[in-house]
Amino acid sequence: MGRRTHVVLAAAAPALLLLLLRLHVAAAADPPFSCGAPSSAAFCDRRLPISQRAGDLVSRLTLEEKISQLGDESPAVDRLGVPAYKWWSEALHGVANAGRGVHLDGPLRAATSFPQVILTAASFNPHLWYRIGQVRTQHTRARAVLAASFFTSSLCL
């Protein structure tokens, strides 16, 4: 290689570095979300009533997309920027064993599991129920907002 080739490579190196850095930042950016800055969809307008926003979103879904949202694992609707969501979580025994919607694979790897409800009810201790509720709430908050739709407590005697 001649001197001219070295000069061209030396001049191109910073540009190449900037291009690679830009590609890395773009790859690490958040995925597109339906209510991002350029969105004009009515379901993104927080000034509108919930019923109107929900109606707008549902009206944009195809029949197949509507059907796909009926289960506890709702797939993403990429064309609208709606992310996938696993919403079933039953925290009757705590957040430790709360169904497929809870994945303890992040910073919080464990949570308290409480006994059968009939056993807790047999204690006739209202303060115990209050404390169990507090612990469930703390564990849910510790998990941030992921899988925070817990259906609890039930008492069927």
Take residue 94 and report the two structure tokens written for it. Answer: 């705590």
Q: Give CA–CA dist 109/126, Å, rounded.
A: 29
Take residue 75 and report the two structure tokens written for it. Answer: 């797939």
User: Is the preceding peptide bond at 113 cis, omega within 30 degrees of 0?
Assistant: no
pTM exceeding 0.85: no
**Tens-place pLDDT, residues 40-80:** 889 888 899 999 999 999 999 999 999 998 877 788 898 88
Q: Give CA–CA dist 150/62, Å, rounded.
A: 28
